[in-house]
């Protein structure tokens, strides 16, 4: 006796192929703390301080703090460990990576008012900055203990309303031109992972017996980045008020390979491999101001306009299956799967304050908020509607906040020590889930729900009149729940338990700078 899956009729309301989900958009618009060694050693709490190349990306007014021109470069060594626990089974993986975080050219241009002592515009500074805003690099290995839930249950539920003859007919037409036949269902059907009712076409059940259990496993290799190239200007007015702006060109390069597998208690199993990549560019404008009411206090405010990304996705999947006698082999999706689309990132604002203790120390704090619910998909033709996906952004995402606190103390005129802490709240609702649309050509059903992200950092720096070198160590801990598929609509006894995943990123950062 096979499992009976509660099914509903599928209504194919969209007449064009889509592949994106809310979790794809979040991955590209979510912010991170990355930059120079001094910036990272203080957990990025630089919004009101300025005077650092990475501070400019948060608050462009920080460029006006510079008194001298500067060239800086930053390298980062990533040492990563991931740990997972799923159905009482532990697994681990690691990664080592060398990256360039930052390259900056700062040009301080004083005006005649500095020498004359007149009030007004003291300097008009310019900057060209390269910043790695985010790294996607991660290796992850998850092994699960015995489970009563199987991805075959999800396949059967998802395929409700699609008749078998349509799934069998896919090799008769061009790849991806039938928007009513998702490739999730095609792979499941041709891999004998689900069975159609002989009396009710479009009603499916898992190939597994009612009490049969599975041993699931998942592996993930992510790599890529979000880079930013910016041109900035800032003005210093009487050393009391600083304003600035940056025009930013952003580049996304993201690649992932994942494998989800199950071994069945009664023999056989399956393995679903997904290859997915995204390339694209975007542009936005950042505005900022810093106010110095008294010498020992600075107050900062900045606004980041939405970024419009133009993106292209590529994807490919392979299913290896062993579903019983004479039912083993493999099947793939077409090699030329791709889609073009746009994403509009949400508005972001930062509020910051810094307290300067003479020439020896400082303490800085920053609060930023991002309305991830405001993220939007846009058709490449600016006409195609992503109604369900955009409604999903409003329903499943949070208005997340990040709090940063950092301090610096000079032990001598040349040597300073630093430390910082930051916390980011979850960008997703606790009830969020990944909904694969019926016109999708993607087959990666997994998703992660973020619980929290914590940053703990420390560092030191040495400077002379013409140069400086800074070192930092930052530990970033990401706490997530992993779901191999969305089982919310399955019978209660078939609901999948999530895996707990902790990713620890240890960054060693070095910045070298020259002033002139």
Give residue-wise pLDDT tens across range 224-243. Answer: 999 999 999 999 999 999 99
Residues 45-65: pLDDT tens digits? 999 999 999 999 999 999 999
CA 57 – CA 62 distance, rounded (Å): 9
* Structural contact between residues 184 and 445, judged by C-beta atoms closer than 8 angstroms: yes
Q: Is 14 a member of any domain?
A: no
Which range marks the domain in which residue 309 is found?
A: 22-515
Q: What's the rounded mean pLDDT across residues 195-218?
A: 92
* Structural contact between residues 176 and 334, judged by C-beta atoms closer than 8 angstroms: yes
358: burial class by Cβ within 10 Å (0-12, 13-18, 19+)? exposed
Q: Is 7 a member of any domain?
A: no
Range scoring the smallest mean pLDDT among 70-74, 174-178, 366-370, 492-496: 174-178
* Structural contact between residues 262 and 216, judged by C-beta atoms closer than 8 angstroms: yes
H/E element, 328: strand 328-332
Q: How many residues does the chain have?
A: 516
Q: Is 416 a member of any domain?
A: yes
**Residues in CB range of 387: below 8 A, 6 or more apart:** none
- Quote the pLDDT of residue 167: 85
What proportion of the chain, given as a percentage, has pLDDT over 70?
Answer: 94
Helix (H, G, I), strand (E, B) or coil at 76: strand
Cβ count within 10 A of residue 180: 13
Q: What's the rounded mean pLDDT across residues 370-387?
A: 86
Which of the four pLDDT bands, split at 50, 70 and 90, describes residue 191? very high
Between 445 and 384, the more confident residue is 445
- If one counts the domains in the chain, the total is 1
Alpha helices in 278-434 (DSSP H): 387-396
- Quote the pLDDT of residue 3: 59
3-state secondary structure 404-441: EEEEEEECCCCEEEEEEEEEEECCECCCCCCCCCCCEC
pLDDT of 13 higher than 60: no
* Structural contact between residues 233 and 51, judged by C-beta atoms closer than 8 angstroms: no
CA neighbor of 51 nearest in space, from 362, 304, 421, 286: 362
Helix (H, G, I), strand (E, B) or coil at 18: strand
Q: Is 199 a member of any domain?
A: yes
Q: Is 376 a member of any domain?
A: yes
Q: What's the rounded mean pLDDT across residues 96-109?
A: 94
Which of the four pLDDT bands, split at 50, 70 and 90, describes residue 7? very low
- Quote the pLDDT of residue 6: 45
- Quote the pLDDT of residue 376: 93
Q: What is the CATH number of the domain that holds 43?
A: 2.40.160.60
CA 116 – CA 110 distance, rounded (Å): 11
Q: Is 300 a member of any domain?
A: yes
Helix (H, G, I), strand (E, B) or coil at 4: coil
Mean pLDDT (the chain) is: 90
* Structural contact between residues 401 and 425, judged by C-beta atoms closer than 8 angstroms: yes
Residues 411-467: pLDDT tens digits? 999 999 999 999 999 999 989 999 988 778 889 999 999 999 999 999 999 999 899
- Quote the pLDDT of residue 438: 78
Exposed e or buried b per residue across 71-81, where buried means at least 16 C-beta atoms within 10 angstroms of its C-beta: bbbbebebebe
Which of the four pLDDT bands, split at 50, 70 and 90, describes residue 142? very high
Q: Is 471 a member of any domain?
A: yes
Residues 306-358: pLDDT tens digits? 999 999 999 999 999 998 888 999 999 887 778 889 999 999 999 999 999 98
* Structural contact between residues 411 and 374, judged by C-beta atoms closer than 8 angstroms: no
What's the pTM value of the predicted model, to 2 decimals? 0.90
The partner residues of 200 in beta bridges, in order of sequence, read none
* Structural contact between residues 486 and 445, judged by C-beta atoms closer than 8 angstroms: yes
């Amino acid at each position: 006796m096979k499992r009976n899956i509660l099914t509903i009729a599928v209504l194919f309301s969209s007449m064009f192929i889509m592949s994106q989900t809310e979790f794809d958009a979040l991955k590209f618009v979510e912010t991170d703390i990355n930059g120079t060694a001094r910036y990272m050693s203080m957990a990025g709490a630089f919004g009101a301080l300025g005077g650092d190349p990475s501070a400019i990306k948060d608050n462009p007014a920080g460029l006006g703090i510079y008194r001298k021109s500067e060239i800086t470069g930053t390298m980062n060594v990533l040492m990563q460990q991931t740990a997972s626990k799923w159905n009482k089974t532990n697994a681990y993986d690691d990664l080592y990576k060398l990256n360039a975080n930052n390259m900056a050219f700062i040009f301080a241009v004083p005006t005649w008012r500095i020498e004359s002592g007149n009030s007004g515009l003291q300097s008009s500074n310019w900057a060209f900055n390269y910043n790695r805003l985010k790294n996607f690099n991660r290796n992850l290995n998850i092994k699960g203990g015995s489970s009563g839930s199987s991805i075959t249950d999800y396949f059967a539920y998802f395929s409700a309303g699609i008749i078998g003859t349509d799934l069998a007919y896919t090799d008769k037409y061009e790849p991806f031109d039938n928007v009513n036949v998702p490739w999730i269902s095609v792979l499941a059907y041709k891999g004998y992972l689900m069975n159609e009712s002989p009396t009710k076409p479009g009603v499916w059940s898992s190939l597994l017996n009612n009490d049969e259990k599975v041993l699931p496993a998942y592996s993930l290799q992510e790599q890529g980045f979000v880079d930013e190239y910016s041109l900035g200007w800032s003005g210093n007015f009487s050393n009391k008020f600083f304003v600035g702006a940056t025009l930013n060109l952003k580049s996304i390069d993201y690649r992932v390979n994942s494998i989800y597998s199950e071994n069945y208690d009664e023999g056989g199993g399956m393995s679903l491999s997904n290859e997915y990549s995204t390339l694209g560019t975007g542009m936005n404008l950042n505005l900022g101001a810093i106010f110095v009411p008294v010498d020992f206090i600075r107050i900062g405010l900045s606004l980041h306009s939405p970024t419009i990304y133009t993106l292209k996705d590529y994807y490919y999947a392979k299913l290896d299956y062993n579903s019983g006698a004479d039912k083993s082999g493999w099947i793939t999706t077409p090699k030329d799967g791709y889609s073009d689309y746009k994403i509009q990132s949400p508005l972001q604002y930062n509020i910051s304050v810094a307290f300067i203790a003479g020439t020896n120390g400082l303490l800085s704090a920053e609060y930023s908020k991002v309305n991830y619910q405001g993220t939007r998909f846009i058709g490449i033709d600016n006409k195609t509607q992503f109604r369900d996906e955009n409604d999903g952004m409003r329903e499943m995402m949070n208005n997340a906040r990040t709090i940063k606190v950092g301090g610096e103390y000079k032990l001598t005129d040349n040597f300073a020590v630093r430390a910082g802490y930051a916390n980011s709240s979850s960008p997703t609702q606790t009830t969020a889930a990944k909904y694969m649309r019926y016109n999708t050509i993607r087959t990666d059903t997994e998703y992660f729900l973020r619980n929290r992200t914590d940053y703990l950092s420390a560092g030191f720096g040495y400077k002379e009149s013409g140069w400086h070198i800074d070192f930092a160590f930052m530990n970033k801990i990401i706490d997530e729940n992993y779901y191999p598929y969305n089982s919310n609509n399955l019978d209660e006894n078939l609901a999948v338990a999530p895996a707990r995943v902790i990713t620890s990123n240890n960054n060693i950062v070095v910045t070298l700078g020259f002033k002139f």
